[in-house]
Structure 1
């Protein structure tokens, strides 16, 4: 099976499908207990490899998944983000995770805006959500910058069913109206 060759450029980022060379930085991210606390928890390298394969697998089976966020100037993997819908998930998610050295620089908002445009242009989604831990104020701020609002508590499927989860989101119409208004 051949995966699509999608490349989306923003001012500072290249969004593309995950590639094997992204793994070392991904393993650093999920291997950091602080960085991984809201994305399923710290993983050793072997488990990180299995988690890394989720996104190429999603692209192969569902026809979509998260994009790798690549710094256009350096070629460095900064994180991943985009459409995500595992079995039992509470909705069509636009999610993300960033390497700690990419935090606080606006990469999440920039990359996710492009990923949302792609998802709404290519998938039959009328709304999207972000599943965010109640104490993860940084991701809540990203959701707000994207125009999403808090919708209430949600529940993730096992094995994450006991973790508190706030559902943030918006409709396609809200996203498009905001874009037309100049964000």
Structure 2
């Protein structure tokens, strides 16, 4: 059961990107409670706080008309992570974000999913620019942002994580 009626569903070579579903909750909560892996998402120590973040993403869809899509592995049908457009209160502008769950790192899944999410934001949502906001210690996400063609623009004070780096993605016309 999808929890967001207007979320798109599209496929890449290995993945299905779709709105959040009930069975996505446990893998996402597990990720959020891993303080090391979820540092860029705030890192939670209490299950009820992680559950609230899961519910926040569903509410984000209803407020903005976009949010994080669940990344489903086509081969297994299992949730592999999330990617999409995030813009909660206090964000400098909408951002393209991503994370893959344990066991899915190093397989190009975040790259494949983020490319598709960015294309969706540019084509279907009409965005003219995208950023990715990355905590400075997250070297893997910084490398992925650069692989996606994003360039460092500035540091800023993120209302949730403190010092953050903002990477600017190429505009849609630059990707053609």
TM-score scaled by structure 1?
Answer: 0.88
Q: Which residue of 2 aligns with 1:31?
A: 33
Q: Which residue of 1 aligns with 2:128?
A: 126
Q: 2:10 aligns with which of 8, 14, 22?
A: 8
- Per-residue deviation at 1:44? 2.3
Say which is worse superposed, 19-28 or 1-10, in terms of deviation: 1-10
3-state SS in 1 of match to 2:10: strand
3-state SS in 2 of match to 1:53: helix
State whether structure 2 residue 21 is matched by structure 1 residue 19.
Answer: yes
- Per-residue deviation at 1:60? 1.3
Q: Which runs of 4+ in 1 moved over 3 A?
A: none
Q: Is the 8 A contact 1:67 1:80 kept in 2?
A: yes
- Per-residue deviation at 1:29? 0.5
- Per-residue deviation at 1:100? 2.1
State whether structure 2 residue 174 is matched by structure 1 residue 177.
Answer: yes
3-state SS in 2 of match to 1:88: coil
Q: Which runs of 5+ in 2 are unaligned?
A: none
Q: Which residue of 1 aligns with 2:77?
A: 75
Q: Which residue of 1 aligns with 2:110?
A: 108
* Residues 134 and 123 of structure 1: CA distance in aligned 2, closer, same or farther (over 3 Å): same
Q: Which runs of 5+ in 1 are unaligned?
A: none
Q: Which residue of 1 aligns with 2:91?
A: 89
Cα separation, 2, equivalents of 1:66 and 1:128? 14
CA RMSD for the aligned pairs? 1.6
Q: Which residue of 2 aligns with 1:167?
A: 166
- Per-residue deviation at 1:120? 0.8
1:97-138 deviation line (CA, Å, top 9, x unaligned): 221211111111100100001111122321110001111110
3-state SS in 2 of match to 1:101: coil
How many residue pairs match? The answer is 174
TM-score scaled by structure 2?
Answer: 0.92
3-state SS in 1 of match to 2:67: coil
Cα separation, 2, equivalents of 1:110 and 1:43? 30
Q: Is the 8 A contact 1:59 1:65 kept in 2?
A: yes
